[in-house]
Amino acid sequence: MRSYLFTPADQARKLAKASQSGADAIIIDLEDSVAPEKKVQARTQAAAFVLAQQTYSKRPRLYVRINPLTTQWAQADLDAIMPAMPDAIVLPKCQSAQDVQHLSVKLSVLEASYGHAHGITQIMPLACETAVSLFHLSTLIGSSQRLVALAWGAEDLALDLGAQQPRHPDGRLISHLQMARTLTLSAARAAGLSPIDAVYTDLRNVEGLREECLRAAGDGFEGKLAIHPDQIAIINQAFTPSQEALARAQAIVHAFAQNPEQGAIAFEGAMLDRVHLMRAHKLLARSPNADQPPAA
């Protein structure tokens, strides 16, 4: 899963365009992009869209971002969307494991009510959107079997921290947000989840998006949130291993297979150990054609 496209739930035209964007997942948004007076309409359209997409054998994953659990809208969001069986619920303003567990209980009740299999609905928290969440990231480890990925939000966190802008004039994240980004990556890996990088809001800066995606992939993120269909191709390309990288990883695996009793081997003028072998396996598992991780 490389690309996650936010799309307002109350705009049918944008939902239709999102389904053809090539995004790995569409995040049907009931929160920030929907005005309070349109929440009811948005819920209806979101449920109808999810139901319609379920009829296609090849479709993106269908995620729904509900409103925060502390609002008056969250329960109504879940009541409206759960009969349609979305693949996952995106939990905004997630403060700690308590929020994840609270949502999980709600999902269990609704799954039972509508005859869905228990636990079929996954959860992707948006962490690091508030200052307090920075101190509770470690609580997410083992908090729920529903967790599938962990993302973060630069804009909301900057607002909560009182920062005037989330980025420097050259596009770099301010230091507070760089720290939050690193913490999100670390927490996701510690919890065994896919780490997903925050949105890039400068829609006109194509090269800036490409550079940030490549940097995120190099840092260890597996995907990125998007706010426009035009960002999807760049994100997908950046988070898809190149043929050259895959070929080299396969060569490393083969070299170790040829020397099964060696903990370290010489390869292309460098000394590689088991860490490099594991890294090669992980890269091969991310190949678009990989049905399963390669054998040791």
pLDDT tens column, 99-117:
999 999 999 999 999 999 9
Q: 163 or 293: whose pLDDT is higher?
A: 163
As a three-state string, the secondary structure of 9-45 is: CCCHHHHHHHHCCCCCEEEEECCCCCCHHHHHHHHHH
Band the pLDDT of 118: cuts 50, 70, 90.
very high
Q: Give the residue carrying structure tokens 């993302």.
A: 151
Q: What pTM does this model have?
A: 0.86
Band the pLDDT of 295: cuts 50, 70, 90.
very low
Task: Give the C-alpha separation, 53 to 73, whole Å.
Answer: 24
DSSP lists the bridge partners of residue 225 as 4
Domain chopping of the chain, boundaries: 3-238, 243-285
Task: Give the C-alpha separation, 284 to 253, whole Å.
Answer: 10
Q: Which of 166-180, 185-199, 262-276 has the lowest mean pLDDT?
A: 262-276
User: Given this model, what pLDDT does residue 276 score?
Assistant: 77
Mean of all residue pLDDT scores within the chain? 92
Count CB-CB contacts under 10 A for residue 296. Answer: 10
3-238: CATH homologous superfamily?
Phosphoenolpyruvate-binding domains (3.20.20.60)
User: Given this model, what pLDDT does residue 124 score?
Assistant: 98
User: What value does the mean pLDDT take over residues 184-208?
Assistant: 96
Phi/psi at 120 (nearest 5 deg)?
-70, -25
Contact present, 30 and 77 (Cβ < 8 Å): yes
Quote the crossing angle between the two packed helices 12-19 and 39-53, to the nearest 10°. 30
The closest of 195, 224, 173 to 24, measured between CA atoms, is 224
User: Given this model, what pLDDT does residue 280 score?
Assistant: 78
Burial (Cβ within 10 Å: 0-12, 13-18, ≥19) of residue 208: middle
Contact present, 121 and 147 (Cβ < 8 Å): no
pLDDT surpasses 80 at 287: no
